Amino acid sequence: MTDETDISNMLERPPSPTRAQRSTAVEELGRLWDTGISSGPAIDGETAFTRIRQKLDAKIAERGTGPTRPALSRRLWAPDNAF
């Protein structure tokens, strides 16, 4: 059984970041933002995943079909696949 001090210690907030950590995080966020903007216009997620799936399916077809590859490909890319 835990006492009240153990529970209050678990509920304490983590320490606030230092100014240096905050500054580094802001710089990194800015760098990531600039990288995203310079990469071009946004693409719809479904369109991007469809294009990736088509490329992977083409590579699998180039290698030839083994006994498990087509079934694996269908299982991974099935729209009703829930994780």
Instruction: Check residue 11 and give its pLDDT.
Output: 73
Enumerate the domain spans of the chain. Answer: 45-77
Spatial separation of the C-alpha atoms in residues 44 and 23, rounded to whole Å? 32
pLDDT band at 44 (very low <50, low <70, confident <90, very high): confident
DSSP per position, 10-78: HHSPPPPPPHHHHHHHHHHHHHHHHHHHHT-S---HHHHHHHHHHHHHHHHHHH---SSHHHHHHHHH-
pTM, two decimals, is 0.39
Find out whether 37 and 53 touch, Cβ atoms under 8 Å.
no
Q: How does pLDDT run across 52-66, given as a tens digit for each residue?
A: 999 999 998 888 755
Tracing tokens 């009240």 back to the chain, one arrives at 4
